[in-house]
Amino acid sequence: MLIDFNEIKEITVPGMNGGTGEMSARMYMSDAGKIIPCRIHAGGSIGMHGHETSDDINYIISGNGKAVCDGKEENLSAGTCHVCKKGSEHSILNTGDEDLVMLTIVVER
């Protein structure tokens, strides 16, 4: 199966999950989960939210940020991967001056 993200419309979401600023994303969804190339713009964040039915995997492509998962802070930079496991809650903040670019994979289980 081929997914061409060039053919998926990019959306801009203000205050994702109660966060700040904006993020832009192209999203592929199925019953098994989601694949989301996205960017949290400078000064933006994804607010604290839970994953009751899925694991959320966030691979950082570029930029700098911070994840808070179940109260633990993790620094994010290119080449790192933050995983929020099923039953946990997390937020992601862009702490840099450029977009925090990541590939998010949500695995339903």
- Concatenate the DSSP letters of all residues of the chain into one string: ----GGGSPPEEEETGGG-SSEEEE--EEETTEEEEEEEEPTT-EEEEEE-SSEEEEEEEEESEEEEEETTEEEEEETT-EEEE-TT-EEEEEE-SSS-EEEEEEEEE-
Q: Tell me the pLDDT tens digit for each residue of 41-90.
A: 999 999 999 999 999 999 999 999 999 999 999 999 999 999 999 999 99
For the domain bounded by 11-108, which CATH number is listed? 2.60.120.10
102 vs 39: CA distance, rounded Å? 6
57 vs 84: CA distance, rounded Å? 6
State pTM to two decimals. Answer: 0.94
Q: Tell me the pLDDT tens digit for each residue of 17-31.
A: 999 999 999 999 999
First to last CA, the chain: 21
**Of 77, 81, 75, 84, nearest in space to 106 by CA:** 84
